[in-house]
Every structure is written in structure tokens, then in C-alpha cells.
Structure 1
Amino acid sequence: MRHRIAVVGGGPAGLTFARVLHRHGHPVAILERDPAPDARPPGGTLDLHEGMGQLALEKAGLLAEFEALSRPEGQAMRILDTDGTVLRNWHPGPDDRANPEIDRGQLRDLLLGPLDVQWGRRVTQVVPGAGDGVRVHFADGRQETFDLVIGADGAWSRTRPAVSPVTPHYTGVTSVETSLDDVDTRHPGLARLIGDGSMAVYGVNRAVVAQRNSGGHVKVHAKFRAPLDWHADLDLADVEAVRSGLLALFDGWAAPVLDLLRQGTAFVHRPLYVLPVSHTWTHVPGVTLLGDAAHLMPPLGAGANLAMLEGAELAEAIATGPGSPDEAVRAFEERMWARAGRWARITTDGLERLVSADPAEAVAHFDEVQPS
């Protein structure tokens, strides 16, 4: 029996779910609010873990293609003191593929493959128990009904209210993102400072993290503890005003580290929000959630990996399980909640230590999680 299945959101979770279902011959409607794949920048780079994101790609039949695109050298990590002293300088071994990096845009294109995405379908509401299924309302006033709706629509999910009243709350940490292009040619000194992967500098309640993407592109994140309205007297659209504010906030740090902010081309304000560590809900027939929609947590490498693995596992359960899709969803939710709760605790503790009053906590955290 064919079921009418929709996934809301064309990010890593939604596309992995759809790609695995497609591999098993099951159609799925992918409802994405963006009008086209390149409507906005796809974001930075992701490290896909062997037993999580890479396992999801294996279930989708895409692991070999991922390995050809990924950057194992991007696993390298360097930690500096605020005066520029190198505290840690870790490099992966020649055959280390535990967490290779891939640009989000490359991953999206890899997952898209033969999938037919309905671009420009902005979902405004999901209503279960609509008689003949789950009713999906769109911004253009249209409605469609499905047997199963998967909410993979991120932190501010429009699907989540169908199963849970909970909304994200601010962590107290804000990240301001900027970027450098053609870094090896235009900023060779900064290229050497960053190395092949990522570089982080930790101070009192603040940090600067730079991470290589492909093609000489670098993302830089200035992270700090502050109230949500820290920018009340600052025009976030004024690049030079934001730059000056950040340089004042990190005053006294080593000049090369500050150059990462001085050379940034634009600044994007990203306050960090999370859902409660133990977020669950009473099962609602016909609706469930994946990824950030289900368990938004600090961005410390687990979120996208969990989301992709969840998408692959749920798709497999629906496509190959002996029971109904609803039985597959019920069993899946129990597994997801237990695993996501563990990772939410790990990443919440990690954020507390990485942006803390004691910078030594950040180095200790690195030593605990980084391979020897």
C-alpha cells in the first residue's frame, strides 16, 4: 500500500529521509520554502561522523560519492591562547576518516540527486486529525492532505506545534559570523594561522573560531555571552559599526586573531537557541519531527549528523518494517528521544565549557573529545 508522505524542509534531515525512501521505491513530497536551491547561501562546512552522518549516507547509497567530495584534512584542529600562543595543534592521520568535512552546498547537491523538490512551498501550519489525513497549510492559501508529515524544518519549525507547544530558548551565547574568500592568495598569513581545518581562540566568556571550507573560503565566528539585545545601540546592517564593536569586545587579543575580524566581508548575527535537553512529546498519529525541529542543540558537530541518521533510520523503518508507518514512527521516536537526549546533554555541557569564565575549561574539553 502506498502512503502519502511529505517531509517539510529540504535540509540534510529532510533530504536524507527522502533519498532513502526514494532508494526503496517510495515516493515522498519534499516541501521546501526556498524558491530554488541557490536562493540563499547554503552555510558552512559539516564534519560527518562515521557512525552517524556517514552511516546515513551509506543507507542512501551515497557513501562513495561523499568520500570523493569530502576533505579528511579538514579534521585538523588548532587552539591558540589570546596572545597567539599555540596550545594544541592536532592533525588527522593519513587514513583517518572519522569526521571528514564537506561543504553544506556539496552535501545538499549530493542528496538532491534525482529527488523532485517542491521549491517555494512555504508551510504555515500542520493540522493532524483532519479526517482524511494530516492537513498542510501553505503561505499561498492552498492546502494538501497527507497520511504522514515529517517536520524537518529546523529551529523555528512550523510542524512542531502539531505535536509540541515547546519553543526554543536563548542560551545566553551569541555568534557573529563573517567570512574570508580566496584566503590562501589574499590572506596567506591568516591561511597559515588557520591551517587545514579549524582554529579556535578562547578567552573569558568569548571565543573566535575560524573554519576552512572548500575553495579557499573561511567562515569566522565570534562567540560571546551577552543578552539578546546586546546590539540595541548598534545597527547590524552597518558592517563597519559591527566590526568596530567586535574589535572592542576582543580588544587585547593577538593581532592575527583580530585580523580575522578586520578582514571579514560581512557580519551575520546568530544568537544560539536550543530546545530543552529532554524534549519529547506525546505521539501524534501522522506527524513527527527530525533534527533541529525535534531537538535543537548547540552547534558542536552533532546536530546535522543526528538529523541525517534519523532521516535514514525512519525512512528504512517505513520502507522495510513489518508494521504500519505509524508503528514505525512510534518506535523511531522512542529511539530518537533517548539518543538525542544524550547528545543534547553533551553539547550543552560543551557550550558551557567552550564559552566560559575559565578559558582553561575549553582546552580541557578539547582534550577530552579530540582523538589522541
Structure 2
Amino acid sequence: MVTLHTKNSQTFVSTPSWLTNIATSFPPAEVEVLRTACELAEPIYQGHVEVTGTPLMQHALGTASILIGMNMDYETVSAAILYAVPDHLDDSAEKIDQACGANVKMLVEGMSRMGRISLLGEVGTQDKNAAAQQIESLRKMLLAMVDDIRVVLIKLAERTQTLRNLSGASAEQQKLIAQQTRSLFAPLANRLGVWQLKWELEDLSVRYLEPELYKKIAKLLDERRVDRERYITEVVAKLKQSLHQAGISAEVTGRAKHIYSIINKMKRKQLDFSELYDVRAVRILVDDVQSCYTALGIVQSLWTPISSEFDDYIAHPKSNNYRSLHTAVIGSQGLASEVQI
């Protein structure tokens, strides 16, 4: 049974309970390394809190849990638990090496270096072009300075954990952290293809940077959620049947539209929420390029395509090598939907 403690509307889990919960995710020998990391970190973190007011050990365990959800290895998870030890222990490198091994020590040291450089992420210039260039330079510097890409993934998970509890920080810290996240860390997640963290970082950052607009869009999404989900269920079922009949092996799912991307599109295209095509969205995952275009033909034969809403990211991949087809169609009830293949 998990032991929970609640404070400031946050739910905390005890370290023994956390270790019990994650035991099935790793072999026994690796669980013991994780246990050793917890035993080293917990007394050092005692009495210390993260910027959100979250006890430091809870913050570290939350970060570690995100990485486990990403199927990261035990060394990465151990380093996430120990990431702040160098801030509170002089001979941390030696202690971490002895307790968890040289690889974990290297990852923790990489986190410390990355933490120092990411402090530069607060751009002071008012010139948008100069600011963009400065941020891009910082992103490149962050990627170049780490010997192991796992360091960046730990940092992205740690920042996500901070954003999840950011309501506990001061208003000034909320704005600063959210701005740095939107300009530096979310694009890093995008560049590495860590989509789930990218989406969460973007949504949580805009929640603090544009709170009124965020609340408005969230309310509109919530009000229409039941009808939208029912409609998407029907679309998914019809697509699965048609693709199966055509001999196309495919995974078809409804796709939640993220608030950040909704706000971005409304601003970029000067549209009202009601004019967006992709609030209702479906994703089709197939095995090869030929099947992508075959699936596109099936989609456009089932529903009326909107010619102005088509992007071929297979012929013209994005900079991070994202490859897909995006189309929008008018379906039953005259409702528009986006389909990503």
C-alpha cells in the first residue's frame, strides 16, 4: 500500500512506497542501485525545498517517475534522484561514484553543468530577432556541452516536474520559469523528439504566461469534450474498418489537441476557436511511406478534404526529421477534423 502525504494540494509518496511501486520496472540488482541512490539523497535533501516549495526529495522522485514512464534505464533514474546532491555536499562526486557507479556520477555532473548554463536562458534583449538568436545559441550550447544525451532528458523531466507544481512558486518565479521553458526547454524537447514532454512543457508554460487565454481555451475544450469525444470515436471506428478492408495495417487513435498549439494557431492564422479545424483530431500510424499515402487516399475518399489544410512532411520533413501527412476534412454533421498520418 502506498503511503501518501498531502501538502499544499500536492500528493507525496514515501520513499519506501516509491521503491516498492517501481520494483517491477527493473531487475532486482538495479532496484538496489535505485535504493542506494535514495538512501544517499534523502538525508542530504532533508529540510530543503525546490523553488515551488516542494520538498526536494519529492521533487527528485517525481522527476525519476517521469523518466521511468519514458522507459529510461536505471542509471538515468538514479541520476535524477541524485541531481541536486552536488548543491548540498562538497565531496558529492566521490560519494555518488562509490554508491552508484561512475556512469551515474557522470550524469549528475552533467546535470550540474547544464544547470549553470541554463541560467542564461533569461533573455534580456528586447529585440525579437536578437533574442531568438541568443536562445538558439543556448540550445546548441546545451546539446554540445553534454557527453551523454541522457543528461538533457533528465533536465527536461526535472523541468516538467517543476512546471507541474509551479503554482507554489512566487508570481515572479512563475513568469521567469515559464518563459525560460517556452523559449529554451520545450524547443529542446521538440528537437529531441520527446513529444509528450514537449506538449506538457508548452501547455504548462502558457498557463502562467497567458493565464486568462489559457483558462478560456481550457473551458471551451471542457464544455465540448463529450460531443467531441463521441464524434472522434465514430471517426476512428470508420477509419479502422476502411483501412482494414484495404489491407492497411494501422493504429488509429483520437488525438488530444494541446492548449498551447491551439493558442498558437489562433494567433498565427487570426482565427476564433470555433474556426479551428484540428480541435477534433485523429492520428493514423502505419508501417511505411506507401501506406501513408494510401491511407491519405482512404481518408479523402471518406470525407471532403479542405484543400487549404494539407501539409506533406514526408516530402518536406521538419528540421527534427518529423515525417507525416496532415490533412483536414469535413465529415458528418458538417464538422471539420484534422487527420495526421
Q: Considering the TM-score relative to the shorter chain, is it more than 0.5?
A: no
Smaller-chain TM-score bracket? under 0.3
TM-score normalised by L of structure 1: 0.20
Bigger strand share: 1
Q: Which has the higher helix share?
A: 2
* Larger Rg belongs to: 2
Higher relative contact order (CA 8 A, sep 6+): 1
